[in-house]
Structure 1
Amino acid sequence: MHDLHRLVLRHPRRHRLHALRRKHIRGHPAGSPPIGGRYWLGAAHGWLATADADSAEVRLVNPVTGQQIDALPPVPTIAHLRGRDAGPIEPGYDYEICSYDWRLEQPQPNNPPRPIPVKAGELAKRLDMRAFLSSDPSHRPGGCFIVVLLNRPDCELSFARVGVDERWTWIGRRTSYADAVNNDGDGLFYALTIAGGIHAYDLAGRASAVRQTTFLHDQVHDIIDTDTKYLVQAPGGGQEWLQVWRMMEPVPTPEGGGSSTHLFTTVWIKVFRVDVDTQTLVKTVTFRENTNHALFIGCNQAFWVPAGEHAGVMPNHIYYTDNEECYALYFPESPRDIGVYNVGDGSFKQFRTPRPWLNWPLPCWFIPSLGSYRQWS
């Protein structure tokens, strides 16, 4: 693991890497790598998942080396996206986003879900929400790895094996998800539902071979659909899992002249252990016994940092960035919520003062990678 754990930020002309240990910011031109003007869908293994603003095409970029991966399937192959020539659509729009696979299913006649008409230039913010990687692309022989997309409007999943699949495969299970993570131990993707359940998917084979296993049933207590949920393996790996629930609300913030404004701010965080035997969630104030790790969450895939190996990182703390995507889309110029949460005593503190230009795309935690992606021809 690299010594420097960085926060990837951007303003219109440059993206920036904030070094956590050295507490400084290093700038890079936004054109190299080419991430300026794109939507950020997440970060993992040293790579940033982006969506083109004009087409919503998903591309992976290494912000340190500048390498870009374009080998993902075209966005129009996502199952619940219908092009203009595929059916009736309002004039002036290029696509419809359906709540079902329009090629295979018919809406219920008594209560048909209304498709959402969108223009090509609006598709990225209307369709793409999050992206998750199975592994570091530079560590995969032949370049084959899996990308999972969390799509609007119903928070459902699509996936593709990069370098293998020509289309995105929709996991149309009528389930809304909040997060997904690949388990290196068994090779399965574990997806967290908005109701606190966990489904395990085998995505390594053909689309027809996708299998789902319910690892944890949806929870019926303390459910708040408006919070943000994260799924992480406990430090050390294995089959011990944690869920982190985070609530953001508009909080009055004073301005000059006696006026005030409302900023979306984290008001509480809860950490649960997953008890598979009893099929319940158990609230906890520690990540794991005898651990000194800190957890980093946001629009990146959550990851652990050993506090003793990195100056300034506190054990049993959660470092978070703003990833309330719906709010950010409507208020892209608002300051972002970046802070630190003490799991033991429930206290918060601001990590650093957000600067006005550190707002959009949403900042995310990032571990640099100097590896290179190579795909067999």
Structure 2
Amino acid sequence: MNRTKHYSCENIYIVEAPSGGLLQVWRAHESSEYVEDADPATDVTNTRNIKIYKVDTTTEKHVEINSLENHVLLLGHNETLCLSAEEYPHLKANHTYFTDDYEEYLFGWNNNRRDIGIFDLANNSCEELVSPQLWSNWPTPIWITPSLTRL
């Protein structure tokens, strides 16, 4: 499927939509200003935007959606999930929880601040998930997948 970018996008994820279709999620980062001789640990990357598109595999097009309604996205290096906020009441509906999966940091530098947070899709803003922010790359932050069966 051909894709076009409306802005700089470093990560693209595919996730199953609550309706059973596919969603394409675009995540854009912004980095602190590059200084040639600076310690790499001073380079900080933050998620600045998340856009979600519903994928129509028949027409090979995608349409931007502005709300997940009563659902939650989890984005990260190990897995991408879309969950019901009703089944997981501790998670905020219409929000995206993300862990750092910026490749340069995952495989290169050990002492950079991690980009971990919650993105509010209603007002395009981020809040911290972990405070203070973590500064170590090892191990890579991952989501622990909840059991989807009810007890």
TM-score (norm 2): 0.78
Structure 2: tracts of 5 or more residues without a match:
34-41
- Is residue 272 of structure 1 aligned with residue 50 of structure 2? no
* Residue identity in the other structure for 2:70: N
> Could you tell me which residue of structure 1 aligns to residue 78 of structure 2?
300
Q: 1:225 to 1:268 in 2, by over 3 A?
A: closer
Q: Which residue, out of 361, 364, 367, partners 2:145?
A: 367
Q: 1:224 to 1:331 in 2, by over 3 A?
A: farther
Counterpart Cα distance in 2 of 1:282 and 1:368: 29
- Is residue 342 of structure 1 aligned with residue 120 of structure 2? yes
**Once the two structures are superposed, what CA deviation does each residue of 1:266-290 show, in whole Å capped at 9, x if it has no partner?**
1111111112343222111123xxx
**Once the two structures are superposed, what CA deviation does each residue of 1:137-174 show, in whole Å capped at 9, x if it has no partner?**
xxxxxxxxxxxxxxxxxxxxxxxxxxxxxxxxxxxxxx
* Residue identity in the other structure for 1:315: A
> Could you tell me which residue of structure 2 aligns to residue 285 of structure 1?
66
> Could you tell me which residue of structure 2 aligns to residue 314 of structure 1?
92
Tell whether the 8 Å contact from 2:113 to 2:135 is kept in structure 1 after alignment.
Answer: yes
> Could you tell me which residue of structure 1 aligns to residue 5 of structure 2?
222
> Could you tell me which residue of structure 2 aligns to residue 81 of structure 1?
none
Q: Which residue, out of 123, 126, 130, partners 1:352?
A: 130
Deviation at 1:262, TM superposition (A): 3.2
Written as runs of structure 1 = structure 2, the 5 A alignment for 1:82-121 is none
Deviation at 1:229, TM superposition (A): 0.4
Counting strand residues as a fraction of each chain, which structure ranks higher?
1
Aligned length: 138
Say which SS state the counterpart of residue 44 (structure 2) adopts.
Answer: strand
Counterpart Cα distance in 1 of 2:7 and 2:114: 22
Written as runs of structure 1 = structure 2, the 5 A alignment for 1:147-162 is none
RCO higher in 1 or 2 (8 Å CA, sep ≥ 6)?
2
Counterpart Cα distance in 2 of 1:236 and 1:274: 12
Say which SS state the counterpart of residue 331 (structure 1) adopts.
Answer: coil
TM-score (norm 1): 0.34
Structure 1: tracts of 5 or more residues without a match:
1-216, 253-260, 370-377
Say which SS state the counterpart of residue 104 (structure 2) adopts.
Answer: helix
Deviation at 1:348, TM superposition (A): 1.2
Q: Equivalent pairs: percent with the same residue?
A: 33
